[in-house]
Chain A
Amino acid sequence: MNLIPYAPWLVWAFPTLSSLLVLLVALFSKKARDYFAVIVCLMAFALAFSMVPDVYFNALEGLSLTAPWVPPLNVNAGVCVDPLSVLLACLVTFFGLVITVYSLGYMAGEEGLTRYYFFMLLFIGSMTGLVMSDNFLQLFIFWEMVGLCSYSLISFWYKRPETVRSAIKVFLMTRVGDACLLAGIGFLYADLGSFSFSYIAANIGKVPMPHLTTAAFLMLFGAVAKSAQLPLHTWLYSAMEAPTSVSALLHSATMVKAGVYLVARLMLLFGSLSALIPMWLPTILWIGTVTAFIGATLALSTPDIKGVAAYSTISQIGFMFAALGAASTASSSGWFASILHLVSHALFQGLDFLLIGGIIHATKTRDMRLMGGLRNAMPITFTFSIIVLLARAGIPPFISFFSKELIFRSVLWSGNFYAAVMLYVSTAITFAYTLRVTILVYLREKSEYLKQIHVHEAPKIMLLSSGVLAATCIISALLGNPISRFMHIEIEIGFGEILKMSTLVFLFTLLVGGASVYLTYYSRISLPEKVKRLRIALSKVLENGYFFDTLYEKAVPRAVSTFSSGLRLLELTFFGELPYLVANGVIRFSKIIYEHVENAFFNRLPYLFASGVLGIAHATQKYLDILVDELLYMVTHKTLASASKLRKVGSDSMEHYVAAAIIGVLIIFILILITFTMLR
């Protein structure tokens, strides 16, 4: 059956969905759950590998690999089947398989393993989905999902406060990068109206240069944060709180490579434009070079065995970034060197972590100062660790020799002499710190601490998966040419390359690094006082990781929390109380009104009014009485007076008297009547 139309989808959908099934299977039996996870990983690896022949023979022309997803935004879900994606998908699923098998031994007997396998499968699915995405929306979702899985897996031992704090730090620091990546994607979408890789690659010329520059730098910053490059590298060391199997899968072999993948992918998308973006490639080159150096020096100074592995990862990814920065286009040797180094680094670093897991398992400590003499107690682990030593140093014919050589060559060709020198120095230090670990852990005398406990070889199942990786490491020496053909890049990587002048220079560099460590531990040369003081100062700087963490863990959080506390105080005292202040003010005002206006005035107003009316009534009564009396008197008086006049006028006519008297009485009667009515 030809899987090709389905394999690119299934390879990430299958583990992602199976992660939910883990929860179901766990209900029946714990053993079934563990083996279910292994089988899922095996099938994912088979699916990934099934895509290889078709990509190799270019059998995918014209195949539709999208499906509608968010139609209003013009987004289709899709898969990208090109050499880069498929190579990384194979790598991710291969490591997923090996490390899940390793977990059977390493994590045996832990509590919460359902959660562990759930997130491991979800991670493998998301990581494969990330490299298989054919658009930025999907890529960003998976990008965040792997961050989420990383957070959940780091905080696997959630009862340790230190672990919880580290997990938060890791998630937050990578989130800063995610926000930048989102911004970069937004810039591209704003100009092109599409997230699709193929559309962007075809129309990249339409984006104005300033926008392209901004987007490229923002996305680079996202990649830098995810891949733990300077200045956001410190999270990787904190991530070492995770179980070692998690560190092996997420924090060395796969997830941290997402940044390298993203930059490599961007170069494919930008095509010839990537060299035209001002300062973009040099920035990548120098970030990589400086990180490679700083990471190597930190690895040389830390006493923590996992710390060495973490800083070494940072440093080696720095090599990959430097190579990408030296590439002008996606088909040049720098680009390929970076991908090749990605593969070779995953192999030896993964193996290194698996061995460290066994050592921590046996000695119950991460501190190398408490170790020593493990070559007798753990002979197989020791043998494998020699492979790590040789592979990490880049001794020919390990594949890392070719990848490192290719990196040096491409950096030199790009004309960055100083960067190349710095990378050579970093390589010397790389050999030095690996040798130091070997001496401290395996070669020197047994420590007091180890004499008290019984140290045993790692369980068989762990040795089995380490063995598989060790074998792959050795076989990989032959893989250089197949990979370059698979990537359709015309760079010959044969053993003939070893017989060159540059190999000698390289080996000499390693010798210098190795000799210095050897002398430090095995011979007692007394150093001059000045050098000693310098060494103490230097070790102070190194112990504090160049003070990056002082900034991230102390200064920034303290500033934010001080500011927030200030705001909270403002909130509680001002905003929280303001409504009550206003309400109290209103109430107080109302009281004043009540006392002075209402009680003093309005409440008494009806009485005032009533008494006023009464007063008027009294006054009226009083004065009206007098008035009426006066009037009566006046009228009577006038009447009498006119009557007496009348009598004088016509005393003879009796009728006049009678009439006048009647009228007078009438008037008086009326007046009395009026007075009475008025007074009633």
Chain B
Amino acid sequence: MGYTLLLVMVLPAMVVPFVYFVGKKSFKGAAFLIVLVCLADIALLLTTVPAILNGVDHRYVESYYWIPVLHASFTLFVDGISFSMAIITLILILAAALFSIDYMHERKGLAEYYTLLTLLSIGLVGVFITSNLMLFYFCWELMLLPSYFIIGEWGYREAYRAAFKFFIFTHAGAIFVLLGIGAIFMVTGDLDMFRAKTALMAANPEFVKWVLLSLTVGFAVKMAVVPVHMWLPDAHSEAPAPMSALLSGVIISAGAYAVLRVSMGTVFPAIMGTDFGGMFLHGLTVFGIITAFFGALIALVETDIKRIIAYSSIAHMGYVLFGLSLFPFQEPVTGTVLHLVNHAVSKGLFFLSAGAVMKQLEIRDIREMGGLAGKMPITATASTAAALSIAGAPAFACFMSEFIIFVGAFQTINSDGFYLVPTAFMLVATVLSLAYALRFLSHVFLGETKHESAIDPPRYMKLAMIILAVFTVILGVWPTFFIQLISSASLL
């Protein structure tokens, strides 16, 4: 104990050069190195579970001396929410690395690819386990750079165009984030999320209002809320499949996590109960509905295999935003975080299976596919599990979290009648999500067989899909572990 979380962050950082040099000799070795690091990180994180469940405030905190001028100490912490997000991130990185072995093997510059993937993992995990806003911003940007290069260099079609769009958008968002963080420091003189929360309570609500808006807009870009979603469809569909899985599973979830943790957790309490506070939440609801419908409707008519999934990601961020707007009720917040976890696994699986189909057939228009269920049974099973989970069918992950969000929504209706109509809308959206999921499955895997020679992908791709499929089912049947952890976290 003592250095657990520091190790979680430093371990991937230390491995970066090794990954590069091993990757020069054998790309398989590099991938396995990443897998090992992920496993080690998962094991390290798991040791903190007792501390989370029994500790003060249900948190496990480590603090190191860092930048005294800014009162910034290198504070790492995990609570139930951070823990769940970090674990699922590591599982996805693990699966992505495994999947890449066979998926990327004929591409050039694999040493660089795996090095960038390792770098990405530092930022991704770091975002979830720090409570220092400075460090948070650092990790936030660290997510961006490696993903830009991975999309641009190893993507499809006009990859750099998509990567550029992604970079510009999220970077513009990051400026708003930085503005917000700067404002928090200006007012409170502190960069710790939890201490700043208390300090902001005393600040002028008129000012805090703008801080909240600036931060939320910044995070919303990463979350791909309509109308700042424009980067997502291109980036997700042009990226190589493992990167799409990470983008859709974790990176946009990081945006949602940041809204929950920083906007809601740190800044929002200062203006909770005011008129603006209510308006802010209602605004989130409206954007949530727009996002959910926009994504689902376009996914219903899109024909590109990966763009369908990309739009479904947008739709699901709509659910998440809706769940967040029910803050601070316990059930919806628990449901929302659980949904982030479930969505990450299911969507990761969805993208990997779509990648497998694309790799095996070398086409991406679903109208040209059909009847693959008999030819690629494992891919078909994995994809069906993912699609049904995304559609919210039970025994698969997303069902449980959507159920909890809705139950929470109905509880909220009792205290705020505004939510009645939005909840009805979101229920309609669940029907739409089933519609596009079934359309996807029937076009790709059912119907007449159009590709007689198609076969299941090589073994590491299968292995990665099986790992995620197993998690999708486990989370659907027995979500108790995560629910317990998440609901132990106190945001207020």
Contacts and interface: CB of A to CB of B under 8 A. Distances in A.
Contact of A164 (B169, B424, B442): B442
A183 B421 CA distance: 12
B297 A69 contact: no
Interface in A22-70: 69-70
Contacts of A148: 388, 393-395
Interface in A130-179: 137, 140-142, 144-145, 147-148, 151, 155, 158-161, 164-165, 167-168, 171-172, 175-176, 179
A365 to B, nearest CB: 22
Contacts of A568: 298, 301-302
A148 B298 CA distance: 24
A575 B227 contact: yes
A151 B395 CA distance: 15
A141 B394 contact: yes
B446 to A, nearest CB: 4
Interface in A540-591: 560-561, 563-565, 567-568, 571, 575-576, 578-580, 583
B448 A189 contact: no
A500 B159 CA distance: 83
Contacts of A137: 403
Contacts of A576: 230, 233-234
Given A571-B298, A579-B169, A186 B409 contact: yes
Contacts of B442: 155, 164-165, 167-168
A670 interface: no
Contacts of A176: 431
Given A73-B404, A579-B230, A560 B300 contact: yes
B319 interface: no
A278 B403 CA distance: 28
A583 B168 contact: yes
Contact of B407 (A69, A164, A189, A578): A189
Contact of B414 (A144, A167, A180, A190): A190
Contacts of B445: 158
B406 A186 contact: yes
Nearest to B435: A172
Interface in B354-393: 371, 373-374, 388, 393
A214 B485 CA distance: 34
B41 interface: no
A624 to B, nearest CB: 55
Interface stretch (B125-133, B194-202, B343-351, B476-484): B476-484
Interface residues of B, number: 57
Q: Contact residue range for chain A?
A: 35 or more
Interface string B408-451: 01110110000000011001101110110011001001111100
A304 interface: no
Majority secondary structure, A binding face: helix
Contacts of B298: 564, 567-568, 571
Majority secondary structure, B binding face: helix
B58 to A, nearest CB: 13
Given A145-B395, A175-B430, A190-B411, A69 B302 contact: no
Q: Which of B442, B445, B487 has the most CB of A within 10 A?
A: B442
A155 B487 CA distance: 40
Contacts of A167: 438, 442
A70 B338 CA distance: 13
B27 interface: no
B230 A575 contact: yes
Contact of B428 (A112, A160, A179, A189): A179
Contacts of A112: 374
Contacts of B168: 579, 583
A179 B439 CA distance: 19
A187 interface: yes
A172 B438 contact: yes
A191 interface: yes
A182 interface: yes
A72 interface: yes
B302 A578 contact: no
A67 B445 CA distance: 39
B231 interface: yes
Interface in A113-144: 137, 140-142, 144
A528 interface: no
Q: Which of B413, B423, B431, B449 has the most CB of A within 10 A?
A: B431
B448 to A, nearest CB: 6
Nearest to A169: B438
B154 to A, nearest CB: 22
A650 interface: no
8 contacts: A155-B442, A158-B373, A158-B445, A179-B430, A183-B410, A571-B233, A576-B230, A579-B169
Interface of A: 69-73, 112, 137, 140-142, 144-145, 147-148, 151, 155, 158-161, 164-165, 167-168, 171-172, 175-176, 179-180, 182-183, 185-187, 189-191, 560-561, 563-565, 567-568, 571, 575-576, 578-580, 583
Given A141-B394, A158-B445, 9 more contacts: A72-B483, A73-B404, A161-B448, A171-B438, A183-B427, A186-B411, A189-B410, A563-B297, A571-B294
